[in-house]
Amino acid sequence: MFISSAFAQTAPAAAGGDTQSSLMSMLPLVLMFVVLYFVMIRPQMKKTKEHRAMIDALAKGDEVVTGGGVLGKVTKLGDSYISLEIANGVEIQIQRSAVVQVLPKGSIK
């Protein structure tokens, strides 16, 4: 009654053998994931690997900075915790992963 004849017609059946156009329509999505990998994921994995190597290489006497900004000298090493001397006679225990930077020797006076 109020529906025009164009809306009342059924849609033509899609062609099943047009694989090239379906691959071309997925190409931007695949390219976006490739760019995302090289721009975000790969650099983050590299940074994590470098941080893990720095944490494993900690030794007694190293001067370090923690994530909270505390400077100290490593006095004891454990599997998951280290002891830092932050002042004469003042030691704190922190997790190894809290260390963000190893300073050159003699940086802390």
Domain-by-domain residue ranges, the chain? Answer: 19-57, 59-103
> Is a pLDDT exceeding 80 seen at residue 30?
yes
Question: In the CATH hierarchy, which fold is given to the domain comprising 59-103?
Answer: SH3 type barrels. (2.30.30)
Is 80 in contact with 39 (CB distance < 8 Å)?
Answer: no
* Integer CA distances (angstroms), 30 to 24, 36, 97, in order: 10, 10, 35
Mean pLDDT of 19-28: 85
Classify residue 108 as left (phi > 0), alpha (psi -120 to 50) or beta. Answer: beta
Mean pLDDT of all residues belonging to the chain: 88
Question: In this predicted structure, what is the pLDDT of residue 1?
Answer: 60
